[in-house]
Structure 1
Amino acid sequence: MTSSSDETVGSRIAAYRKLAGYTQREFADHAHLSLGAIRKVEQGERLPTYGFLNTAARTLSLTVEELTGQPYRGSERADARVHAPIAAIRGIARAYDLPPEWRPAPRPLETIARDVDQATVYRAAARYTALGELLPTLLEELTACVHQLDGKSKGHAARLLASCYYMAYTLASRLGYLDLASILEERLHWAASLAEDPLSIGLAQWTRANGFQIAKDYSTGIRLLEQSYGQLWESVGANPSTAAVTLLGSIRLRQVTQASRARDENATTYYLEEARRMAERVPNGVDHVHYHLTFGVVNTAVHDIAAQIELRHVDVAAARARALHLPASMPRTRRGHHLIDAARAFIAIDDRDAALLSLQQARAVAPQQTRYHPMAREAVRVLVGHHRRAGEEVRALSAWFGSDLTEK
């Protein structure tokens, strides 16, 4: 089956379901999904939850990306630029262990480190094009460094390389290159092991758990995270630094995500409580960013809202989304992601004006993240279907995503 960017998630599910020989009722019985939910998602009247997508994909022997239509290549020059670095990143990841003499001489490590800092700024702002333009050179040079240097310099280079592999993983996964993301996850673990830094290893394990999340193997993902939490706690001691608290708290938040997608309310509540307790250790009650991860009271509240959506407590999620005001100090990538989740909650309670406003805000805060986010795109499609006469703002937002959906 070929995929068009103008197709909806629901139309793809319906097409693949029919190819597999299922009626809607048979599919509901086999996948243990609600028949009503299947009908509404296929008709474009309801946004699927992540749990729904994972279950549907697994039942149909597909990836979630095949159902969402990623990667979204688009037809504009800006779309081509954001996808352009993927081939180079793929080649560098493939050649990671080849002899150092096969590589060009890298710049001084302190010079490379400054560019890594700049890439970190781009990643936090979800500036995918700018990030992608830096990453291939950084990955190539830092790979050469870890092969050529020794001692503390090698450890420093390995920490920087682990950081860049994480940023490359983020770029690949956000753009929908799941196969490449899986490879980059392994390279991140390799670089982190060379760094001999428990926090880099914690980041690698936190990232690895996402693979189990994608596979809907939530129990294994949660167990891996629990093991990682224990190992990290043992490494950093009873009085962890703020950076260590950020990693430990982020592990708890990822457990919240996985437990909620498994629709395990007790586990979700437990990990939320654990995250809140860890957030009490964050200085001044202000969320901190370390090793690309954000943790504190506010990001814990953001994860709580997303979890309530997955647990189908959409009224609770919407009420908490209205009450939560994210500070400007929060990374744009976190603010944008939350605003997309808020739109999902508002659509679920049929407050389409609030959903539209949230999506418009997400576009303003993190335009590239919003443009390439499958839930944002699907949310606009749902809004288009309910604003056929008076939805000029919806139509404008739809056109911005790169496809004219107003006639669908």
Structure 2
Amino acid sequence: MYPGPIGAGTVSSGEVETESSMPNHADESIGARIASYRNLAGYTQREFAEHSHLSLGNIRKVERGERLPTHGFLATAARTLAVSVEELTGQPYRGQQRSDEKAHAPIVAIRTVVRAFDLPPEWRTTPRPLADIAGDLEEATRHRAAARYTRLGLALPELLEELTAAVHLLEGDRKRQAAKMLASAYYMAHCLAYRLGYADLAGQLDDRQRWAAGMSADPLTVALSQWSRAGGFQAAREYGAGLRLLAHARDQLTEEAGTSSSSVVTLLGSLRLREATLASRARDEQATEHHLTEASRLAEQIPDQTDRVRYHLTFGPANVAVHDIAAQVELKNADEAAKRASALRLPPSLPRTRRGHHHIDAARAFLAVGDRDKALTALQDARQVAPQQTRYHPMAREAVRLLAQQYRRVGQDVRTLAAWMGQAVA
């Protein structure tokens, strides 16, 4: 164990930080929370519709728990009500189980390391050789790809602290290598914080990732940091700025690294897919289709048409299809989204994070067209493939809640899912 004097130390499962000024009613629906914040802001439903440019009918159905909100709806509602998306979703979901506490406990230690990122080198203990740290970093990478949040969280504080020390204490090529590794660790920490619902920490980790990437002298590491940064614009509903950032990142990567290597193709394709996501959240169907088409063209360059992972990002025909379905849901092309979700067969080689996310989006599509049985199956598939990702995903939780409400006689399968998520079913 690395005995760094500044950072995390051991993670205690008893440490809890308060993350919201409002009580976190874990069993309260997103629609109910939107209604509460709307009332606090002094809006009637009609006034809220006028100020947000959301449809009155959609607002009513979401607040009554009859319809799943899209990500775009949530971002717009949060911006209009001057709250965070997490305040509307009720994140972080800490739950009542010991497994929940284990998943969230490392957040305190990660915050400690993040605060100490620029403290003087003489305050730090000499880290292990980078070759030794690399093995632990690779293991953490596998945990992230499999959405094993608890194991990832336990590994990250020590990795972040040790690699931060290496960046401060090493010189030349070794410093650049350490910076590249640190940027990778920050990326994984950002993913964990975002997925668990700690948006403020995710933003800090975004900044630290770009700081480390800037010292790496690696264009692909820089491109990954820009891909991550665009997520902040996406969450804030600043789609235009996010799209400009991504286009600039593509141009910069092409200029500095060319377009021939498989890693560059993966990064370029992933940037395109994130552009498609932002465009769909902005309800720009033409731009969404353009970015998906360009991503498909890049995917044709991949040998054997098999998705591959480079710099943490997955790219290939299957992930293009996954993003296409999610985009159709956001664009409210529910019939097309459900049709494509029914037809898609994902390769088992696709990382669990991507497969789990697809099943959640498929459930959203099936609920939108009223196919509750397929929605239930999709959510069960998501739980099987990536249980922690599914348990802490606001759309998965809301989909289970909606299923429980829509079934006149709630079956055991729905009750089991709801109980697993800590939701009460009448």
Say whether residues 1:205 and 2:226 are aligned partners. yes
After superposition, the CA RMSD in angstroms is 0.8
The size of the alignment, in residue pairs, is 405
Mapped to 1, the partners of 2:375 and 2:413 lie a distance apart of 12
The aligned residue for residue 264 of structure 1 is: 284
Mapped to 2, the partners of 1:390 and 1:84 lie a distance apart of 34
Give SS of 1:57's match. Answer: helix
The aligned residue for residue 338 of structure 2 is: 318
Matching residue's letter, 2:416: A
State which of 346, 367, 384 in structure 2 corresponds to 1:364: 384
State which of 334, 359, 363 in structure 2 corresponds to 1:339: 359
Deviation of residue 284 (structure 1)?
Answer: 1.2
Q: How does 1:328-407 map to 2 (within 5 A)?
A: 328-404=348-424, 406-407=425-426
Q: How does 1:298-317 map to 2 (within 5 A)?
A: 298-317=318-337
The aligned residue for residue 12 of structure 2 is: none
TM-score by length of 1: 0.98
Deviation of residue 390 (structure 1)?
Answer: 4.1
Q: How does 1:50-65 map to 2 (within 5 A)?
A: 50-65=71-86
Mapped to 2, the partners of 1:18 and 1:117 lie a distance apart of 48
Say whether residues 1:277 and 2:297 are aligned partners. yes
Deviation of residue 388 (structure 1)?
Answer: 4.3
Matching residue's letter, 2:363: A
The aligned residue for residue 267 of structure 2 is: 247
Deviation of residue 101 (structure 1)?
Answer: 2.0
Mapped to 2, the partners of 1:273 and 1:345 lie a distance apart of 21
Deviation of residue 64 (structure 1)?
Answer: 0.4
TM-score by length of 2: 0.94
Give SS of 1:135's match. Answer: helix
The aligned residue for residue 26 of structure 2 is: 5
Q: How does 1:64-213 map to 2 (within 5 A)?
A: 64-213=85-234
**1:273-299 deviations in Å (ceiling 9; x for gaps):** 111111111121001101110001110
Deviation of residue 373 (structure 1)?
Answer: 0.3
Give SS of 2:168's match. Answer: helix
Q: How does 1:22-33 map to 2 (within 5 A)?
A: 22-33=43-54
Deviation of residue 240 (structure 1)?
Answer: 2.2
Deviation of residue 91 (structure 1)?
Answer: 1.1
Q: Percent identical across equivalent pairs?
A: 64
Deviation of residue 392 (structure 1)?
Answer: 1.3
Deviation of residue 341 (structure 1)?
Answer: 0.3
**1:140-187 deviations in Å (ceiling 9; x for gaps):** 000011111112211111111000000000000000000000000000
**1:257-314 deviations in Å (ceiling 9; x for gaps):** 0000000011111111111111111121001101110001110111010000111000
Matching residue's letter, 2:286: N
Contact 2:126–2:169 (Cα < 8 Å) also in 1: no
Mapped to 1, the partners of 2:248 and 2:65 lie a distance apart of 40
- Give 5+ residue unaligned stretches, structure 2: 1-21
Deviation of residue 236 (structure 1)?
Answer: 1.3
Deviation of residue 109 (structure 1)?
Answer: 1.1
Give SS of 1:195's match. Answer: coil
Deviation of residue 4 (structure 1)?
Answer: 0.1
In the superposition, relative to structure 1, how do residues 8 and 390 fare at CA in structure 2: closer, same or farther (>3 Å)?
Answer: closer
The aligned residue for residue 4 of structure 2 is: none
Deviation of residue 2 (structure 1)?
Answer: 2.6
Deviation of residue 387 (structure 1)?
Answer: 2.1
**1:243-268 deviations in Å (ceiling 9; x for gaps):** 11100000000000000000001111
Mapped to 2, the partners of 1:403 and 1:350 lie a distance apart of 22
Mapped to 2, the partners of 1:252 and 1:240 lie a distance apart of 16
Contact 2:33–2:88 (Cα < 8 Å) also in 1: yes
Mapped to 2, the partners of 1:39 and 1:107 lie a distance apart of 57
Give SS of 1:48's match. Answer: coil
Mapped to 2, the partners of 1:394 and 1:161 lie a distance apart of 42
Deviation of residue 67 (structure 1)?
Answer: 0.1
- Give 5+ residue unaligned stretches, structure 1: none
Deviates more, 1:382-391 or 1:33-42: 382-391
Contact 2:404–2:410 (Cα < 8 Å) also in 1: no
Give SS of 1:157's match. Answer: helix
Mapped to 2, the partners of 1:296 and 1:167 lie a distance apart of 21
Give SS of 1:289's match. Answer: strand
**1:197-227 deviations in Å (ceiling 9; x for gaps):** 0000000011111111111010110001000
Deviates more, 1:20-29 or 1:248-257: 20-29
Mapped to 2, the partners of 1:168 and 1:70 lie a distance apart of 17
Give SS of 1:294's match. Answer: strand
